[in-house]
A and B are shown apart, each in its own frame.
Chain A
Amino acid sequence: MLETLLKEKFGYSSFRQGQKEIIDSIIHRRHVFAVLPTGSGKSICYLLPGYVMEGLVIIVTPLLSLMEDQCEQLRAHGEKRVKALNSFLSYQEKDRILGQLRDLKYLFVSPEMLQNKKLLNQLAKIKLALFVVDEAHCISEWGHEFRTDYLKLANIRHTLGTAPCLALTATANDHVKRDIIKQLDMEECDQYIYPIDRKNISIAVKKCETINEKIEEAISIIKMVHLPGILYCGSRAWTEQLTSIIQVRTHYRVAYYHGGMTSEDRILIQRQFIDGELDLIVCTNAFGMGINKSNVRLVMHFHYPKHINAYVQEIGRAGRDGKQSLAVLLYCPIDDEIPKHLIDQSYPDDDVLARIFSRIKYENAKLHSDELLKIMQEEGASETAAHFLQYQLVQFPNMDLDMEKVHNKIKSTIHERKQHKWRELNEMKRWIETKRCRREAYLELYNEQVIEKREPCCDHCGLNWDIFRKGKRETRSLEKMDTWEERLQKLLNNHLKV
């Protein structure tokens, strides 16, 4: 019985909402598209079938850190037959893993890695139990711009046989859902879509006039409400700057986290946060996906995300334990500059595009070469824009035949993608400006309704901040530090031994 297996392998005594139904479909070899809220236990939906079905479970995962986290978590449950393959491994390491495929039960891969011929050859030789795409909204969010390998997953899935496909995400509106199903070519699938509404998260937006006012607001909220908390910012520089300000102005244990840090520092900070040694983490959107911490009480946005999907994902990291938690978005008019700039930066503008095309023509640059990237950047394209353009160009291997046509084609692709990004951004902005219940307003975008309203809902329904106010005892005093000899003893003497 599945329950017995769940208990034996993972130590849980019952299934959570959705898990059993999804697993059942998969075991009956049906394709499954599932939307389950963050923290609801999506991983079990592909891990458990691994113990029932014969063959390898492949999990396509967008982020390196996420992949490694999942691997370590599985190992922590005593499962050794698990590996992560990504482009950052050295040649020898990749080779070693490829040699062991037959002995593995779970393989985490990046979509880029699935382009590797050697891997595909090896995979073709072994039996596949299940093809999983975790955080499947990335297909729609990133696949069209800079990670076009996401769009090739369906093809790869087909070449690997007929194993069922499972697409998992925490947030997908209708548009994203249709895109995922289409891109994975799984029109005939069982769909499990559970309410994304998280009743225990109260939502508020605070408007400020200036950045300074916003900083003050952030600090007073941090001082007032229950922590631990996550503070999202729009740029790396802001995470660092806010961290130092908060460190000076409060006595909370604060650290920043962003993609520019070394992997080792990121691991330390993440562990400190999970183990309760930090009260607040100030981060870019690089932090959070797959992070498993149940008692986050506050998610605050210092800058608003590019679209509402990201917003819902990010606030979903609060209150996984079901206790009342708070999501606050701080807004001031100048914030609008950041996403505008980001969208513009992601694509070459018309002039730049024209200059690049004329240089490709006269210099006969190879499409795959780094040289081409350099040319693009010399002509004023940002790094992201250059990568986007290179991906687009590679779609036309014979473009020297009709350069003009390709030029126009790409121009219109850029136009479409920009329009799309603008629509999403406007949707986000409209939500910030709304006068209605905030929960109703965002759920509507997912064709969902608020069934029973629970207090405290949102700032427009009326929010009593006292609920979140922390007691006196929660203020911390500075701890004395051990000497280095004592610290070393703590590490290398068994202090549990009597």
Chain B
Amino acid sequence: MSYHVFVVLHLIKKFQGDRSIYGIYHLLHGKKSSQTIQDSLLFSAKAFFNSLENLSRENWNNLIRTCCSKHLLQEIKKDHVTLTNVGSDTYLMLSKSYTIPTGLELTAWIDIETRFWKKLKMIIQSLSHMIHHERYYYPVSRQDDIQQWTKNFYRHLEVNRYQLSNQLQKEIKTALSICSDLESGILVYQLSGFQVNGMTIEQLAKVTHLSLFETSFLFKSSLRKLLNQIAAKPDKYPILAKIADLDRPVSAVSLTQSARKTLNLINRGLTLDQIASLRHLTQNTIEDHVVEIAFQDPSFPIDSFIDEKSYQHIQQIIGSLTTKRLSVIKEACRQDISYFMIRLVLAKERV
């Protein structure tokens, strides 16, 4: 429980009530929306993006409520909380005994980490069965594209399965050597293979006597370290590098799929109105996409959405305020300035 409290206080402190608890939840849960991706940078909380994939909204809610009832947090308005004085003191105390695992900060590849992990699990499971001459097994991932990818993976390989499994084992051992045994164990024990069933994060938390949050963080920490190793020395880890497939352009990956579609239509000269009706989406959603694109791609032109004067006006207001809360900024701006414009400027300025 205390580790959970530590994490909650740590995050709430970062966001200072500028985002709702659900905004923070989306971040932890790894929701790929323009808003969360921006928030993770605005509040330098990128390390936590996608760090608690299994967290349910309900559990997060309960946790916040518990902290409130212990007077560690106070609600400043609906769904927005900040630390109380007691909360700040408690946080200081807890930071003496708890830390956030270091590997979490290695965020260069977080866009592909989940997919990489799924692919790795499938390769190890299939390879493990292959070297034991067992053709049939229940795949750990039922995602069709992952299964298809696994098939293709073997099609383009020249080494035989025994060489492959030896090599892969060696690569994983070397790459994990920079992790603690605990981190490596949490990663490896999730893998399944011939006559071996992986464990869930929750089961691992039980056997390691750690909290669920810490176990998840340690896993993500080791996974990110692993990916970073691969990226730094792809020649040293040829098989892992092939599984990770890091060569794909990142900018294309980091847009949500829906935003990418919108971008294609913008490039073909359609207005936002037209795109919204063509795609049966609301204007709001399309605007979200535009903000996301502007944020991800600094060279994306936004002059068709906002004029120079308004841009400077908003820029000034933002500079004069200490908060990033949209409603406050909106209040301070001219009447004709929309939320959309403000978010565009925030995205462009990357504040």
Contact = CB atoms under 8 A, between A and B. Distances in A.
Interface stretch (B10-18, B104-112, B123-131): B123-131
Interface size range on A against B: 35 or more
A264 B142 CA distance: 8
A89 interface: yes
Nearest to B206: A247
A492 B131 contact: yes
Interface in A259-311: 260-265, 267-269, 271-272, 275, 277
A364 interface: no
B258 interface: no
Given A267-B138, A485-B173, A492 B165 contact: yes
A492 B136 contact: no
B136 A483 contact: no
B196 A271 contact: no
Interface in B187-203: 187-189, 191-194, 196-203
Interface string A75-93: 1101000000000011001
A494 interface: yes
Given A484-B181, A491-B124, A494-B132, A268 B207 contact: no
B162 interface: yes
B196 A490 contact: yes
A72 interface: yes
Contacts of A485: 173
Contacts of B142: 68, 263, 267
A275 B132 contact: no
Contacts of A475: none
Contacts of A494: 131-132, 162
B145 A93 contact: yes
B2 interface: no
Nearest to A94: B144
Contacts of A261: 54
B29 to A, nearest CB: 11
Contacts of A496: 132
Nearest to B198: A268
A271 B181 CA distance: 26
Interface residues of B, number: 46
A440 B202 CA distance: 43
B141 A483 contact: no
B184 interface: yes
Tell me which of B139, B162, B198, B206 has the highest count of chain A C-beta atoms within 10 A of its own C-beta: B198
A447 B172 CA distance: 62
A90 B145 contact: yes
Contacts of A78: 136
Nearest to A92: B145
A154 B63 CA distance: 49
Contacts of B145: 90, 93
B168 interface: yes
B141 A264 contact: yes
Nearest to B199: A268
B53 interface: yes
A10 to B, nearest CB: 14
B56 interface: yes
Contacts of B335: none
Contacts of B198: 268
A491 B191 CA distance: 8
Nearest to A256: B202
A492 B54 contact: no
Interface of B: 53-54, 56, 118, 124, 127-128, 131-132, 136-142, 144-145, 162, 165-166, 168-169, 172-173, 176, 181, 184-185, 187-189, 191-194, 196-203, 206-207
Given A484-B185, A494-B132, 7 more contacts: A255-B200, A268-B192, A268-B199, A487-B189, A487-B196, A488-B188, A489-B169
9 contacts: A255-B203, A268-B199, A487-B185, A487-B188, A491-B128, A492-B124, A492-B131, A492-B166, A493-B165
